[in-house]
A = this chain, B = another copy of it.
Amino acid sequence: MPDAEGHPTTEEMDLLTVFKALSDPLRYHVMATLVRQVEDTERTCTSFGLPVSKSTRTHHFRILREAGLIRQVDRGNSRCAQLRRQDIADRFPGLLRLLADNPVPPGTEALSREAQHV
């Protein structure tokens, strides 16, 4: 079962849930962004500049977390999101490559004003 912070183990990850998590443009965008960054990059939820309210943002990151795609670690002040790169690669080989090769498709805008943070 998931740990206290709601991170499922590799075995608990389920492709249907992952697809559901990735079927939203905003979440897809977050993942496609994370996957193209250097290993172990940590980013706050805010840094993605999603065009939604704080509470909605929490909602989206929760879904990514519960699908096992990201890890959220407490950094005192804020809570950083980190791609679970190795876990995903182990459980769903090929998935990361798919995301890396397919950034947000044109027409799925409202994401263009991506914050330039790191």
Listed in ascending order, the chain A residues whose CB lies under 8 Å from chain B are 14-17, 19-20, 22-23, 25, 28, 92-95, 97-99, 102, 104-105, 108
Is the Cβ of B97 less than 8 Å from the Cβ of A15?
A: no
Contacts of A22 in B (CB 8 A): 16, 19, 23
Copies in the complex: 2
Output the least CB separation between A107 and chain B (Å). 8
Is the Cβ of A98 less than 8 Å from the Cβ of B15?
A: yes
Output the least CB separation between A24 and chain B (Å). 8
Contacts of A94 in B (CB 8 A): 93-95, 97-98
Is the Cβ of A16 less than 8 Å from the Cβ of B25?
A: yes
**Which 5 A/B pairs are nearest by Cβ-Cβ distance?**
A94-B94, A23-B23, A15-B102, A20-B23, A19-B23
Contacts of A97 in B (CB 8 A): 93-94
